Amino acid sequence: MNQQSMNQAGQAQAQQQSQVMNEPPAIMTTKDLLYVNDMLAWNLNAMKKAHDFASRCQDTEIKQAIESAGQMHERHYEQLLTCLQPSQSQPTQMQ
């Protein structure tokens, strides 16, 4: 691969990485579902750990920071669940 084609490939990859998806795709692959499952598990685990750590913490300032982090993970978990719920207008499809 020459230098020019490497530069073009790098530019195309940078453009793909900078695109932000506002909505989940209508079709999710098995790999997508496995990744979403991992994200749900990570957020649920972080939320539980934060709740446990906050309940053991004596310093109120630190306790509030840990509770805030746990609430953030809970919001992310809920957002993921919302994205997975099928919309009324489109049937759920898998590849």
Nearest 5 degrees, angle CA 82-CA 45-CA 95?
45
**C-alpha span between 66 and 47 (Å, rounded):** 10
Residue 20 lies in a domain: no
Residue 65 lies in a domain: yes
Residue 42 lies in a domain: yes
Q: What pLDDT was estimated at residue 4?
A: 67
pLDDT one-digit tens code per residue, 39-75: 999 999 999 999 999 999 999 999 999 999 999 999 9
Q: What pLDDT was estimated at residue 50?
A: 97
Number of domains in the chain: 1
Residue 39 lies in a domain: yes
Give the residue-averaged pLDDT of 8-31: 72
Residue 2 lies in a domain: no
Residue 44 lies in a domain: yes
Q: Which domain holds residue 39?
A: 29-84
Residue 58 lies in a domain: yes
